[in-house]
Chain A
Amino acid sequence: MDIQYMIEIFPRFLLVIPITILIVVLSAIFGLMLSIPVAAIRIRKIPVLSQMMGAYISFTRSTPILLQLFLFFFGLPVLLQLIGFDIMKIDAITAAVACLIVFNGAYMSEVLRPAYLAIEKGQHEAAESLGYTPFQKMKTVIIPQMAPIALPGLGNAIIHLIHDSSLVFAIGVVDIMGMATIMSGDTFGMKQVEVFLTVALIYWGISMISEQLIRLLERRKKKVLKNTGYKLKEEEAGYSV
């Protein structure tokens, strides 16, 4: 064990952390945006589309993310050529982000769907009887109640996303893991344990920080809801989360 060396290489990892964060943030935001229509289609049970979304969710759940990354990396150019774009090869980061967006769209839609279905029908009817437009209803009645139910699941999705993003080095993105594989070659295989221990500590740190941020958000949401007199489902059931 060479602690000195671990401290020495740490700054080099700091340079590539933004790439990991960029991939995670982009896929989280666009994944959430994708998951909303997917969840809506599944909730409304629109005939053909609903089955297609069911197959899409089942596919992304049952194949390893590594395989999906490779499918996107090799498959996206072929698909684009079929539509008429003449691209021989796509950027590894683009493929990685596209893949993680598609993956998260499915994952998060399965978080949002039960959260939406957990809202009582009476809430919809009450809002409608007060003359709310569908948009107003969602904004002021449904989403505030969905949030505390969906937030833990979405938080989990983000943590999973951070972990999954460590696989993008397999298609050639130089993120934290990519840097580590380059570095373990630099030292002629002498200090690999130190390199990967540093990487493990960095990921541990990132996961802990994001976990705390999600906790903070959850707590704030709960406080707001408590002030408005809303009772959380689990409080009624008699246990706390």
Chain B
Amino acid sequence: MFDIMTVFESFVEILKVVPKTLLLALIILVLSFMLGAAITYIQSLGIPVVKQIIGVLQSFLRGTPNVVLLYLVYYALPLVSAWFLGLFNVTLDPSSLNSTAIVIVTFSICYSVFQSEIIRGALHSLDKNQIEAAQSLGYSTTQTLRKVIIPQVMVEALPDTMNAFLIIIKALSLAFLVTVVDIFAQARLVGAQSFSYLEAFVAAALVYWGICVILTYAIDKLENRMRRGYA
């Protein structure tokens, strides 16, 4: 009924897609971080209507599950982009959009909201006097950002950002719905080949568990090291 050898074989098969999954997650993390930073910046400006729109958007993104958003973007994005490009007389075949691109877009948008919260929290933890001190020393805005704000905010935001990275790796398991092959999708494929779904899923669970344990350990080490400079 349950065969350990099959688990091992599936494990080896699944390991092949781990680099791809990690790369996808990294791209999404970086994009969502940049989007999140943009959201934080726009919110800090406090432009009346824009602020409310972003508020509603945040509430919507937080209130709907990732699956629903993934399907929504999967079906809507080709149409929207074709319509948008049509305005510039560029014709785009809606079915030509790559599903990997759709996954990246969806999750980047989803997690940008969470990233903006993380960035805002980290900025709040920064002492205002630090900026004043930098200004009194005659630092320019770029210099203040580069030498004073970013090094400190980065340490503050690192644990949560890395946590987001783990969450993204797990959320990527939904990508199988739009035919992108990550760890979970690979487990389904491997399981389907030999009709041994349970073994394949156990192997996938072990892979995920291993990734999380290793990454958590590495992050702890990194954080301790970065904090040492400011202790």
Contact = CB atoms under 8 A, between A and B. Distances in A.
Interface of A: 58-59, 61-68, 70-71, 74-75, 78, 81, 162-164, 166-167, 170, 177, 180, 184, 192-193, 196-197, 199-200, 203-205, 207-208, 211
B56 to A, nearest CB: 10
Label chain A's interface by main secondary structure: helix
B208 A207 contact: no
21 contacts: A61-B212, A62-B166, A62-B209, A63-B204, A67-B184, A67-B201, A67-B205, A70-B201, A75-B198, A78-B2, A163-B66, A180-B71, A184-B75, A192-B71, A192-B75, A193-B72, A193-B79, A196-B72, A203-B68, A204-B60, A207-B64
Interface size class of B (residues with CB under 8 A): 35 or more
B63 interface: yes
Given A66-B174, A177-B68, A200-B68, A208 B205 contact: no
Given A62-B166, A78-B2, A67 B63 contact: no
A208 B66 CA distance: 16
B72 A197 contact: yes
Contacts of B79: 193
Given A62-B209, A70-B201, A163 B1 contact: no
Contacts of A81: 1
A64 B60 CA distance: 23
A150 to B, nearest CB: 20
A170 B166 CA distance: 22
Tell which of A74, A164, A180, A196 has the most Cβ of chain B within 10 Å.
A196
A75 B187 CA distance: 15
